[in-house]
Amino acid sequence: RKEVEQDPGPFNVPEGATVAFNCTYSNSASQSFFWYRQDCRKEPKLLMSVYSSGNEDGRFTAQLNRASQYISLLIRDSKLSDSATYLCVVNPYTGRRALTFGSGTRLQVQP
């Protein structure tokens, strides 16, 4: 089983739609979680951290469910500029390991 698993998509949604992505992680000891965004042929960039109580940044909401070992990202009122690949990132807190990146979920927002 992969340490971090994501549905690769693509998710094709119309502008203005609400879309949600889930990500599961295998290590129950994981302590910190992030969502990164990667535009086509560009480098990944931090979108937001995910806190235990859940957190919101404008149209974006991140949630953590430790019992089921998944994190989610909700995007409301989708814009064309939201089209990108969203990477789920987990700190496995095992040995000397650093952050582990999921393979990403691709979102295409249609006009």
Partner 1 sequence: DAGVIQSPRHEVTEMGQEVTLRCKPISGHDYLFWYRQTMMRGLELLIYFNNNVPIDDSGMPEDRFSAKMPNASFSTLKIQPSEPRDSAVYFCASSMTSVGEQFFGPGTRLTVL
Scanning 15-23, 59-67, 68-76, 97-105 for contacts with partner 1 by CB under 8 A, the matching segment is 97-105
C-alpha to C-alpha distance for 109 and 15, rounded to whole angstroms = 6
* 3 state SS for 21-60: EEEEECCCCCCEEEEEEECCCCCEEEEEEECCCCEEECCE
User: What is the closest distance, in whole angstroms, from the C-beta atom of residue 11 to partner 1 in the complex?
Assistant: 17
Instruction: State in angstroms the smallest separation of the CB of 6 from partner 1.
Output: 9
Nearest CB to partner 1, comparing residues 34 and 78: 34
Of these, 104, 105, 107, 109, which contacts partner 1 (CB under 8 A)?
A: 104
- Contact residues toward partner 1 (CB under 8 A) are 31-32, 34, 42-46, 87, 91, 93, 95-104
